[in-house]
Chains A and B, each alone.
Chain A
Amino acid sequence: MTDPLALAPVLAPDERPTPVFADPDLTPDERYAAFVEHVHAGLKVEARDWMPDEYRTSVLRFVEMHANSELMGVLPEREWIMRAPTLKRKLALTAKVQDEVGHAQLLYRVAEDLGKPREQMFADLLDGKTKFHNVFHYPTKSWGDVGIIAWLVDAAAIVAQQALRESSYGPYSRTMKKICWEESVHIMHGRDVVVTMMNGSQKQRDMVQEALDRWWGPLMQMHGPRSDPAKDRDLYWRIKEKSSEQLRQEFLSTYVPRLWEIGLFPPDPELRLDEETGEWRYSEPDWQELRTVVTNNGPMSQERLEFRRLNYEQTAWVRQTILAAPAAAA
């Protein structure tokens, strides 16, 4: 077992042991074991607590990728804010994208309180050292995409996010509750956009189906390949509670019937519910595509990172002057 105190912490923690490990007579191994027991008992870890190095880095990596995804997720939808075709849709879409920025703020704050400043996180994101979710590497080609993303991408995300409300890391679990509450409105907006178009002209219906045809692959890849739960460290630390396959099954069982019932068909001939096992069957997603995309080789990866970089540079003067933190009091 790793001796966590033997490692130089990656990030200097504000060391304040929880009651469970408060006893200074505990050996490092005992402290580590007590922490594992604490987490496996469903108890929470807070920002001030002592934590094994692996736990801290795992939580940080997980939250950082989530924060990055919210931030990058703004870009595919942002261009359509300008093109929203009615006043109501313009308001709804702007509010939705604003929420994504708000979620980025919440999540970057959680990560910052683990010791990594947001400036460093932005730099790592732009340098390609950290990642963001696959779905945000693809282009949005029509208003049909806007509906499909707001409905299904957000739905797939919320399936994962609802499970994260039980995360062992306190600040993250509480943030997820706020995020889930806000996301539920987005899904309703997305479904409203899609259903309205399905009730419209043939051209509108074709637009939605065409968008679904393009987005289905990335959606199926979104929760990741099936992993061996025994080997999944994020599951071990209870940072997340459900496996990739559990999330994907949940997504399919809720949303495929809702697509079929309005005449939308995911482009997968294998897609069906196996009545005997209660599990959804589907064509194996293209995991190579997923790997290619999340390493920033997706259709829009570089363009979007470049856009972010450019805008970040253009507003640097504001951060360096007016928004700069005052010098720490002596």
Chain B
Amino acid sequence: MTEQQRPTDPQPASGRHEEAGRLGGGARTDVFEVFRQEKDGDPMRHAGNVVAPDVELATHYAREMYSRRQESVRLWVVPRSQVTDLSDPDLLQPPLDRSFKKPGGYVMRDKLEQARQRAKDEKDGQGTS
């Protein structure tokens, strides 16, 4: 591909602040992403992609590539251009502490032991009187 043929971005890529964009490189306009569900109750997971002139044939091909062994109970077929990609680390992995949002931020083993011991001592104290 020559310089002239590069797909034009809405803004030039500028480190971490560029817009979410297309998946992968290349200039194919006929790629469809396929998501599959392995069994009832499972989430949809990205499985791969197929090339097709339109969504009708893409659906047939998705069935072949991702369920010809009866390995899926559901498929989603989405034109690649319809998928918005977000991978900006500032948005997804901001650097300051966020442990207050996670279970691991609430380790209270020592405190609990202290509280239990105190309660036990109190109870024992009452018992002897």
Residues of A within 8 A of B (CB): 11-17, 19, 22-24, 47-48, 98, 102, 105-106, 109, 112-118, 171, 175, 178, 322-329
Contacts and interface: CB of A to CB of B under 8 A. Distances in A.
Given A17-B15, A24-B14, A48-B87, A113 B24 contact: yes
Given A326-B29, A329-B81, A22 B89 contact: yes
A171 B33 CA distance: 13
Nearest to A111: B26
A279 to B, nearest CB: 38
Nearest to B14: A24
Given A113-B26, A326-B53, A16 B87 contact: yes
B52 to A, nearest CB: 8
Contacts of B25: 11-14, 47-48, 113-115
Interface in B15-69: 15-16, 18, 21-31, 48-54, 64-65, 68
B69 to A, nearest CB: 8
Contacts, number: 93
A116 B15 CA distance: 25
Interface of B: 1, 3, 5-7, 13-16, 18, 21-31, 48-54, 64-65, 68, 81, 85, 87, 89, 93
Contacts of A24: 14-15
Counting from the closest, the 6 A-B pairs by CB-CB distance are A113-B24, A325-B30, A47-B24, A19-B89, A24-B15, A115-B25
A114 B25 CA distance: 5
A113 B18 CA distance: 20
Interface SS of chain B: helix, strand, loop or mixed? loop
Given A47-B23, A105-B50, A117-B28, A15 B13 contact: yes
Contacts of A13: 25
25 contacts: A12-B1, A12-B25, A13-B25, A14-B25, A17-B13, A47-B25, A98-B68, A102-B64, A109-B48, A109-B49, A109-B51, A112-B24, A112-B28, A113-B25, A117-B28, A118-B51, A171-B24, A322-B53, A323-B52, A325-B53, A326-B54, A328-B27, A328-B29, A329-B29, A329-B81
A105 B65 contact: yes
